[in-house]
Amino acid sequence: MPDIEQRVALAMIARSPVERLLQAKKERGWTKLKVYADVDGAFTRDYVSPEDADVPGYSVFTRRDGKIRHFWSGEMYALTSDPGQDPRGAPDLDPLWTLLDTTPEGRGGDWYPQLEYGSSS
């Protein structure tokens, strides 16, 4: 998380009770990750899938001049790249660089992850 949060804010939103999300967060040692429960499913329907189903997705929002806007989304979870093609769906968005590349400011030219962070990170 310290690598990512030097460049962007990151949160996980799921259609699951908040208690279950907090337990999953604790079990995985995600001490810095913000988690939110999509209690009524509105976020999922608006930004992931109109179907009332569990569909993984990934959305990027920007905040500029006090306004929050939807920038990018990916929810092609069941598809991987064809031979010779660049990956673009949700299963291929795991590495740090790919995550940063989907944000408006990108990975930046003057930043690189550190090998160690202070205890306050």
Tens-place pLDDT, residues 73-105 = 876 655 666 777 655 555 455 567 777 888 888
- Please indicate whether residue 53 or residue 16 has the higher confidence score (pLDDT): 16
Q: Length of the chain, please?
A: 121
Contacts of 11 (CB under 8 A, 6+ apart): 33, 34, 35, 36
**What range defines the domain where residue 73 resides?**
2-101
Alpha helices in 29-91 (DSSP H): 42-47
Residue 111 covered by a domain: no
> Which one has a higher pLDDT value, 22 or 98?
22
Q: Coil, strand, or helix at residue 33?
A: coil
Mean pLDDT computed over 3-22: 90
Q: Which amino acid is at 27?
A: E
Tell me if 106 is assigned to some domain.
no
Which comes out higher in pLDDT, residue 55 or 47? 47
| pLDDT average, residue stretch 24-31 | 86
Query: Residue 51 falls within a domain, yes or no?
Result: yes
Residue 121 lies in a domain: no
How high is the pLDDT of residue 70? 94
Number of domains in the chain: 1
Phi, psi of 113 (to 5 degrees): -60, 145
Specify if 115 maps to a domain. no
Q: Is the pTM of this model over 0.75?
A: no
